[in-house]
Structure 1
């Protein structure tokens, strides 16, 4: 039986709130399901509260509102925070990504999250409504 986890997109106000919402959708109140893009991708691969057979779907309601909250401004903010921990060799490309995001160009956090979900779960496992 396929399990459906629901994200209420109207409650997504930024990346930190997204982490809270997906954690609660999968693992109940106060639950966690990764707090960065790599951990989120790993969690989607199974064993972190999802069915062992990976027979689940993520339904992202009001996703357009989430797309705005996780848009270029939030993407630039997120990338700026990453610079504090980045290896010096990674700073130039990171700064380029920040500049693009500040100009409203390039992929957003919303785009990255959608890509991760679709890549890890496969076709038809992400329902955007």
Structure 2
């Protein structure tokens, strides 16, 4: 049996709302499915999904989500990371932040889609 999780992309206004929407899609109201990229990767990779069943993630209104999780939101996240980054990571985060502010480089949407692709099989994510 294949379980289908539906992400309502019209509810995503930024990264914080994405965590809420994906948590509810997978685990019901108030559900948890990661609150950072590493935890999300762990959850998608089997720690938060049914291990005995295959699953599909349908991301409805993904174009709207892509805008909400675009370069501006990516820059906001990186600016927050920079305030608490280890000194050895600062230069990399500063470069990524400059790129995001200039509208270059991967966005949070790109990163989330990439995580699902890396941690699951082909066809698991359906962008609708």
> Structure 1 length normalisation: TM-score?
0.96
Gap regions ≥5 residues in structure 2 = none
Answer whether contact 1:70 1:109 (CA < 8 A) is retained. yes
RMSD: 0.8
Count of residue pairs the alignment pairs up = 128
| Equivalent residue, structure 1, for 2:94 | 95
* 4+ residue runs over 6 A deviation: none
Gap regions ≥5 residues in structure 1 = none
- Summarize the Cα distance change of 1:34–1:47 in structure 2 as closer, same or farther, 3 Å threshold: same
Decide which structure has greater helix share.
2
> Structure 2 length normalisation: TM-score?
0.97
Q: How does 1:19-98 map to 2 (within 5 A)?
A: 19-48=19-48, 50-53=49-52, 55-98=54-97
- The separation in 2 between residues aligned to 1:25 and 1:128, in whole angstroms, is 15
